[in-house]
Amino acid sequence: MINPVTGKNFQPSWRIAEFLPEAMAFYASVEARLGTKLWHPHPVLRLAADPKNWEKIRGKLTAQDVAPWVVGEVHPPDERWVGAVAVRGGGRLDVKAFLDASRAFFSEQGLYRQAEMDDPTASSSRRVWCEGAAGLLLGRPAPHRCAKGEILTLRAEGWDDTQIRIGNRGWLIPLGGGLFKVGATYEWDELDEFPTEAGRAAVQAIAVSLMDEQFQVIGHEAGIRPILRRSEPLIGEIDGEWFFNGLGSKGSLYAPGIARRLTACLLDGARPEPELDLGIFLESLKTHGQS
Ligand SMILES: Cc1cc2nc3c(=O)[nH]c(=O)nc-3n(C[C@H](O)[C@H](O)[C@H](O)COP(=O)(O)OP(=O)(O)OC[C@H]3O[C@@H](n4cnc5c(N)ncnc54)[C@H](O)[C@@H]3O)c2cc1C
């Protein structure tokens, strides 16, 4: 999912005005090249159940950085919600279709090889460590704040499938054909990829709060969000090796723009801009610690 205005503070994502258009242009160009639909735009219905939370959201609707994303206040779908606002610019990226089609494309060109973990034959001068959570859990390239999350796939024939719903610390995304994804839990201590009964119960409760009980669970997955500092990724060269990590829960939004900047470093010798520079981040950790 890409959701431009997020969190309990109803805050636009970091540098969204820059990275969202870049991501949209990138996915559109890949769709045209590979002949596969990847991006499914949907209005985002942001719901508030708590009057204080709604006042906070409402107070931000006309703020300069928020207003461009606001379609307008709408009636909450039922009496469980005190307020609702429709947000533009969001949607769902079909990540599996993107990865499958990309892999097939590069395979046809003879440019794809399944990377082996820590392949000793890979040339270090051309290697980029983009290992996601797997690398962060090994301490590469920096201390992390990864968070496990569990999501469910549901079948619910009667539900409205025109909007993404966000509220009660959860989200619900229509996949089409009566299917939905709903999530997600946050867990910082048990960092594994095993779905749990507690996670399933927590996500089912989110589904009930966002819609109703008329669904069937058909899938349950767990993963680890690769977090270095919130969902603000970093790139950089450490001891002659390049790193790209820390996409957090916003890989779909930031990966295209950050990858383009990394490419400029690798091919044109550009330096990462200071805000994205892993080396500067590591230095600041030494001085200030994790903030
Ligand atoms: C519950 C949950 C919900 C999320 N929701 C969203 C969302 O709504 N929107 C969104 O945009 N993002 C979301 N994310 C985050 C998104 O999944 C990540 O941002 C994204 O996957 C990070 O991409 P990555 O390529 O850096 O890492 P990964 O996706 O982890 O990919 C890294 C790959 O490298 C491989 N690898 C690792 N080490 C090595 C090695 N040494 N050698 C060879 N291969 C290696 C791994 O096996 C893996 O295939 C969510 C994540 C979770 C867990």
Full set of structural domains in the chain with CATH: 5-96 (no CATH), 147-225 (3.30.9.10)
- Worst-scoring range by mean pLDDT, 26-30, 61-65, 264-268, 283-287? 283-287
pLDDT digits (tens, 9 = 90+) for 132-153: 999 999 998 888 999 999 999 9
Collapsed DSSP state (helix, strand, coil) of residue 14: coil
Which amino acid, residue 140?
Answer: R
- Worst-scoring range by mean pLDDT, 104-113, 155-164, 218-227, 242-251? 104-113
Q: Is 122 in the pocket of ligand 1 (CB under 6 A)?
A: no
With the CA atoms of 104, 108, 112 and 114 taken in that order, what torsion angle do they form, in degrees rounded to the nearest 10?
60
Distance CA 214, CA 258 (A): 40
Token digits of residue 99: 């990865």
Q: Is 90 in the pocket of ligand 1 (CB under 6 A)?
A: no
Res. 287: pLDDT tops 60: yes
Percent of the chain past pLDDT 90, that is, above it, reads: 86
Q: Is 226 in the pocket of ligand 1 (CB under 6 A)?
A: yes
pLDDT of residue 19: 97
**Ligand 1 pocket mutation, candidates 123, 131, 144, criterion most atoms within 8 A of CB:** 131
Which amino acid, residue 2?
Answer: I
The model's confidence at residue 118, banded by pLDDT at 50, 70 and 90, is low
Q: Is 118 in the pocket of ligand 1 (CB under 6 A)?
A: yes
pLDDT of residue 231: 84
Handedness of CA 17, 19, 22, 24 (dihedral sign): negative
The residues that bridge with 238 in the sheet, in sequence order, are: 241
Distance CA 255, CA 98 (A): 13
The model's confidence at residue 286, banded by pLDDT at 50, 70 and 90, is confident
Contact 276, 235 (CB under 8 A): yes
Res. 105: pLDDT tops 70: yes
Q: Is 224 in the pocket of ligand 1 (CB under 6 A)?
A: yes
pLDDT digits (tens, 9 = 90+) for 13-42: 999 999 999 999 999 999 999 999 999 999
φ/ψ (deg, to 5) at 216: -125, 130
Token digits of residue 234: 């970093």
Report in angstroms the alpha-carbon separations of 25 from 90, 173, 231. Answer: 14, 22, 21
pLDDT digits (tens, 9 = 90+) for 170-211: 999 999 999 999 999 999 999 999 999 999 999 999 999 999
